[in-house]
Structure 1
Amino acid sequence: MARTRLYLVRHGEQDPASDHAPEGGLSRLGREQADRLGRRLRTVPFSTIHYSPLTRAAQTADVVAGHLPRVPKHACDHAADRTPVPSAERRGLYPDRWHAWLDGVPADERDEDAVALRAAVHHLGVTGDEDRHELLITHNFVIGWFVRHVLDAPDWRWIGLDQANCGITTVQWDSDRPPALLSFNDTGHL
């Protein structure tokens, strides 16, 4: 039975001086969070580190990779910052109380009907001939979408599944059973 275990991690705290700009880097606390995360994960037999192309995720990956020197890392579009929003046809599947908030999602973050996030799950959430462990350094809503998928929850249920900076969520795919949530937002290392 082959298995894939994904460790989903939200990047370290962004520097507040960046005013949440897309290219904002890590704060001093964010670097400390990433260092603690790297120390926590140093014994996991990772095959790769995927990270979002945004600066805060790339910097988190750099710090973590210092504790995993033999593990290759790469910017990965599947880890990019996205907000799944419903199309007009699917809007009714989301509770009314979220519509105004979803309408305000910036155009560059919108992932209509979660097309890109579904592709990310399809690409990363598969088993092969051998067991593998992969680290995905990404963003809050991406992790929420993976958790929603693994739990087979309604599309809108990613909302409210908030992750701490550098918290660890672990999901697993086995070749002979449905995917499973192994841990959610583990912050014991912080």
Structure 2
Amino acid sequence: MSTAFRLTLLRHGATLAPGGLGQHDAALSPLGHSQLEARWAALNGTDPIRAVASSDLQRCRDFAEIAASRDTLPCRIDAGFRELDCGRLNGVRADALVDGDALSYRRWQHDPADGLAGGESWAVFTARIDAALQRWLVAGADGHHLLLTHGGVIKALLLHWFGLPPNRHGQFWPGHAGHVSVWWDAAYPPVLLAFDAEPPR
């Protein structure tokens, strides 16, 4: 396996239950599926995808398995790529929070270092994702690697790679089927190649 290749982080598309925090397991909507199809075609046309990994939550996993099977690609499904665990607020919409939960969420948005409602701290979240990424990349193929995952995962990896603290997470807001591509070299820090946060049109 080559130690240098393009690595793309792709956020899932729109879901049937939008806006829920954390590790809720909402399915993709038809719009979300079409968003991912459009993004996949564009990315694959630029640099053919050779290996796929995905969160095990269905809004990521379902499309990853379909696309990988269609293109005869290896596909790793790993719970390590799940969204941040938000404790007892998993699945709750942010705009539905009231009283103490609403206050805790606002504070968390300003600095997510500590866990939300009994969930993961940012350090534990980042370590989980990085461990899953290393497992995949060590076992993977040559060429363009694509990880289908969640907005929080993309934020955490970018902050980790660029040496930024958790309170800078607001700099990165990947939309549905938004993506980030980096040049990955095991011997050097990742180099940013592309950041398209908007859903494909």
Query: Smaller-chain TM-score range?
Result: 0.7 to 0.9
Instruction: Note if 1:147 corresponds to 2:142.
Output: no
Distance (Å, rounded) in 1 between the aligned partners of 2:166 and 2:137 = 17
Cα distance between partner residues in 1 of 2:74 and 2:200: 23
Return the structure number with greater strand share: 1
Letter of the 2:157 partner, please give it: F
Match of 1:93 in 2: none
* Kept in 2: contact 1:37–1:64 (CA 8 A): no
Q: TM-score, normalised by structure 1?
A: 0.73
Task: Report if the CA contact (8 A) 1:78-1:120 is conserved.
Answer: yes
Equivalents in 2 of 1:131, 1:167: separation in Å? Answer: 24
Q: Percent identity?
A: 27
Q: What corresponds to 2:39 in structure 1?
A: 37
In 2: Cα distance, 1:19 partner to 1:170 partner: 25
Deviates more, 1:22-31 or 1:178-187: 178-187
1:50 maps onto 2:53 in alignment: yes
| Matches of 2:164 and 2:122, distance apart in 1 | 18
Cα RMSD (Å)? 3.5
Q: 2:108 maps to what in 1? A: 98
**Alpha-carbon displacement from aligned partner over 1:20-57 (angstroms, at most 9, x marks no partner):** 38221111211110111222133333332101111111
Structure 2: segments with no counterpart, 5+ residues:
87-105
For 1:27 and 1:6, the matched residues in 2 are separated by 26
Distance 1:157 1:120 in 2: 23
Q: Give the TM-score of the pair, scaled to structure 2.
A: 0.69
Q: How many residues align?
A: 176
2:123 equivalent among 113, 116, 120: 113
Q: 2:6 & 2:110 partners in 1: Cα distance? A: 36
Distance in 2 between the 1:163 and 1:176 partners? 27
Distance 2:131 2:167 in 1: 17
Which has more helix, going by share of residues? 2
Give the residue type in structure 2 aligned to 1:170.
S
